[in-house]
A = this chain, B = another copy of it.
Amino acid sequence: MTSASNPTPLDSLDTPCLLLDETRMTHNIQRLKALMAKHGVQLRPHLKTPKSIDVARRVMSSPQGPAAVSTLQEAEQFAAAGVTDLLYAVGVSPGKLARVLALRGRGVDVTIVVDSIDAAEMVAAQTKASGVRLPALIEIDCDGHRAGVQPDNHEHLLAIAQVLAQADCLRGVMTHAGESYGCRSLEAIADMAEQERAAAVGCADAIRAAGLPCPVVSVGSTPTAHFARSLAGVTEVRAGVYVFFDLVMAGLGVCSVDDIAATVLTTVIGHQPDKGWILVDAGWMAMSRDRGTAKQPVDQLYGLVCDAQGKVYPDLLLAETNQEQGIIKLRAGSGASLPDLPLGTKLRIVPNHACATCAQHDAYHVVRAGEQGVVARWDRFRGW
């Protein structure tokens, strides 16, 4: 982390660049922390969103974790920074086990995820061959979203559990209600949270009824984590994007636009006055091509446009993007008028999807409520 003794004025930053409002981030972190404390369940923040050691230290409950990651590069980077309790929450392939074993050999408690007999046998064989135990969670498919064992297929579940247990590798179950991103109401999100909980707890119960251990019952997505009615039987909740939030989460009602902590600072580079267009230097390279709100009732195109201080202009959208240019327009049918934004004006764009937009940048430029300028620069990493 680089901390500026004197804040850097926004106007002096090269654009496009990524801004992070630490005040909003802290509010988001505290909100979910308080909720999990009320449920009495451990939070395992997913660090695939920030990919930053400075953010990780603020979002984790201790410098050692726990945390979840989506790549071995994340696992290695956070382990090097002192995190010792990591869930690698993506199905593992044979070629990746050497790096997992290397981390475990260094005393990092990395848990992996499997959802088939083949994968369980691979884990058991590697444990036997290396002498290093590879603890694993069995992934459950609670909503047809992605990977995992069907929650009512106990025969399959127990066959995997047996293979893992015989190698002393069975640590529990995990599931992720990815379909919660498609919910249309907070009620539907709460129902999805219950579906997620019931799938995981039901499978854990089945494993225990077969006389096998299942200490961990891990669930989570940002929407379900915030609106679960009950987490009975769950031992930990995972969530990632809540640390920054974004327009997809605001569209779902999980947060408000004013909670969104990560934005892209951009500069006006031209105008097409006859068309009502303002051109800026934030194209898809700076925003990503993510258009998550396209499937929501209100499509925010490539993002909401704010002034340099973060105040949203009514109905002003980043409507189209080329590689290094964006076109700002008023929302179709809007009664608002196009603001006068001369060449060189700085603006902020609120993104659809924080994970995707932040991934386009190498650093966060940190700002705080009530303070002028950038107070710190926090590096991000990427790769696999």
Q: Is A384's CB under 8 angstroms from B17's CB? A: yes
Copies of this chain? 2
Q: How far is the CA of A12 from the CA of B99 in the complex (A)?
A: 13
Instruction: Give the number of chain A interface residues (Cβ < 8 Å).
Output: 63
Q: How far is the CA of A91 from the CA of B14 in the complex (A)?
A: 15
- The interface-forming segment of A165-173, A227-235, A282-290, A328-336 is A282-290
Known: A17-B384, A146-B322, A147-B325. A285 touches B93 (CB 8 A): no
Name the residue of chain B whose CB is nearest to the CB of A291.
B289
Q: How far is the CA of A15 from the CA of B361 in the complex (A)?
A: 21
Q: Is A187 an interface residue (CB 8 A)?
A: no
Q: How far is the CA of A269 from the CA of B148 in the complex (A)?
A: 11
Name the residue of chain B whose CB is nearest to the CB of A362.
B383
Task: Render A79-119 as a binary contact track against B, CB cut-off 8 A, 1 for contact.
Answer: 00000000000111111100100000000000000011011
Q: Is A259 an interface residue (CB 8 A)?
A: no
Q: Is B327's CB under 8 angstroms from A146's CB? A: yes
Residues of chain A whose beta carbon lies under 8 Å from any beta carbon of chain B: 11-12, 14-17, 48, 70-72, 90-96, 99, 115-116, 118-119, 122, 141, 144, 146-147, 150, 178, 267-272, 274-275, 279, 281, 284-286, 288-291, 322-325, 327, 342-344, 355-356, 359-362, 382-384
